[in-house]
Amino acid sequence: MPRLAATLVVLLPPLLLLSAAAALPPGGGGFGFEATLRHVDAGAGYTKAQLLARAVARSRARASTLQSLATLAPGDAITAARILVRASDGEYLMDMGIGTPPRYYSAILDTGSDLIWTQCAPCLLCVDQPTPYFDPSQSATYRSLGCSSPSCNALYYPFCFQNVCVYQYFYGDSASTAGVLANETFTFGTNATRVAVPSVSFGCGNLNAGSLANGSGMVGFGRGSLSLVSQLGSPRFSYCLTSFLSPVPSRLYFGAYATLNSTNASAAAGPVQSTPFVVNPALPTMYFLNMTGISVGGYRLPIDPAVFAINDADGTGGTIIDSGTTITYIAEPAYAAVRAAFVSQIRLPLLNATDASVLDTCFKWPPPPRQSLTLPEVVFHFDGADMELPLQNYMLVEPVSGGLCLAMATSSDGTIIGNFQHQNFHVLYDLENSLLSFVPAPCNLI
């Protein structure tokens, strides 16, 4: 019987810490902080249908950038890694203070890139943002970096001008930022866990193009040496994402606060599960996992695990977990197998997909009167871990067609596990042990 879901590179030295006492979690245990994450569209007055349409559109754009790697000539994948993410397609904003005294900004949190940057005055070319540009002359702790500094050498495109390190960063949506690479004191966390950290390397952008999606910069949480995770010397963070349709913000935990202990509200949530990260030399910043299969309705689909694997020849393919993509994109032919399983197990007419639709596994909704409906359970299988998705993490009502749709789409190159699928999971990135861990959690309550 089918199982059914419920009815509907250069290593930088760890930094010295200011306000260390304020950064200790209850009971001690080392440096860390908690932060609030806001969805980029929160509070903008969009309807639920508009929120969903905007999120799906951003996902399509971000995934198309990743898939473009498949068309590159051999040897170009490393260059493409530098411009993989799209600056305008972030999903969550994180507040942080820059300078002394601190000026507060909301930056796009991105697990797919490394650089921390904001727009700076004097701004020769800048894009709209909700806060004033950061003015280095008003901070007592701003220091531009020299061309021989380790941070400058860690840049993909370092450039030296009058003995000052100049950075350039290009994104997949033709957005870009360029300016001075500098060190500055950054302030993180909520009032109870606030901590100031000196000498964080960041980009002070004077020439910028593109869109910042209601933010004032970006903060990279990738695996490279310029990311916030690497620079703070406490290589672990976690997040618990509420539904992007919910007004309740999400939470980020860093360092000693990043733990899954006592996350579960009940034993029914299940145990913490862990799977190792996989390093892709062509895309070293991103978080790859070893996905081994997918089950639908209790049946393990006949998918060759090689469909989810990295291509050793050029670094294409593989499976990424990505906070900046909403829906999940599944590599062919795995997606075809998932779609076929849903079509065979759901007793509703299948809607015809339009050219403009990202979601093409959609059923007529609502069902006819007096017809009950059960939906097949979905499980993502990884090396050593199974992610059993709640119903609301893989089915949605698509605003254009009104159909009940699978919140997944096909990918011509690689698989991306999007944030829609791991909302209401507490997800821990443990770089020291190279593990991703997760457990179901009521993210609106913790």
Residue 313: the pLDDT is 86
Q: Could you read off the pLDDT of 346-390 as tens digits, one per residue?
A: 989 999 876 556 788 999 988 777 777 889 999 999 999 999 999
Least confident of 216-220, 263-267, 407-411: 263-267
417 pLDDT above the threshold of 50: yes
Q: What is the mean pLDDT of residues 387-412?
A: 89
> In this predicted structure, what is the pLDDT of residue 81?
36
Q: What is the 3-state secondary structure (H, E, C) of the chain?
A: CCCECCCCCCCCCCCCCCCHHHHCCCCCCCCEEEEEEEECCCCCCCCHHHHHHHHHHHHHHHHHHHHHHHHCCCCCHHHHHCCCCCHHHCCEEEEEEECCCCEEEEEEEECCCCCCEEEECCCCECCCCCCCCECHHHCCCCEECCCCCHHHHCCCCCEEECCEEEEEEECCCCCEEEEEEEEEEEEECCHHHCEEEEEEEEEEEEEEECCCCCCCEEEECCCCCCCHHHHCCCCEEEEECCCCCCCCCEEEEEECCCCCCCCCCCHHHCCCEEEEEECCCCCCCCCEECEEEEEECCEECCCCHHHHCECCCCCCECEEECCCCCCEEEECCHHHHHHHHHHHHCCCCECCCCCCCCCCCEECCCCCCCCCCCCECEEEEECCEEEEECHHHCEEECCCCCCEEECEEEECCCEEECCCCCCCEEEEEECCCCEEEEEECCCCCC
Q: How confident is the model at residue 257 (pLDDT cuts 50, 70, 90)?
A: very high
- Is 442's pLDDT higher than 80? yes
Q: Which of 41, 89, 173, 322 is catalytic?
A: 322
* Choice among 110, 114, 413, 430 that is catalytic: 110
pLDDT band with cut points at 50, 70 and 90 for residue 156: confident
What does the pLDDT read at residue 83? Answer: 37
Is 322 an annotated catalytic residue? Answer: yes
Residue range 379-406: average pLDDT? 92
Question: How would residue 29 be classed by pLDDT, with cut points 50, 70 and 90?
Answer: low
Weakest mean pLDDT among 59-68, 118-127, 227-236, 288-297? 59-68
Give me the pLDDT at residue 20, please: 37
Residue 284: its pLDDT value, please?
Answer: 86
pLDDT category at 8 given cuts 50, 70, 90 is: very low
For the segment 153-179, the average pLDDT, to the nearest whole number, is 83
Q: Which of 44-53, 205-214, 416-425 has the lowest mean pLDDT?
A: 44-53
Say what the pLDDT of residue 63 is.
Answer: 62
| Between residues 215 and 77, the one the model is more confident about | 215
pLDDT digits (tens, 9 = 90+) for 216-248: 998 999 999 999 999 998 899 999 999 877 889
Using pLDDT thresholds of 50, 70 and 90, give the confidence band for residue 173.
low
pLDDT at 187: 97
**Band of the pLDDT at 285, cuts 50, 70, 90?**
confident
Q: What value does the mean pLDDT take over residues 4-12?
A: 38
Q: What is the structure's pLDDT at 80?
A: 41
Q: What's the pTM?
A: 0.88
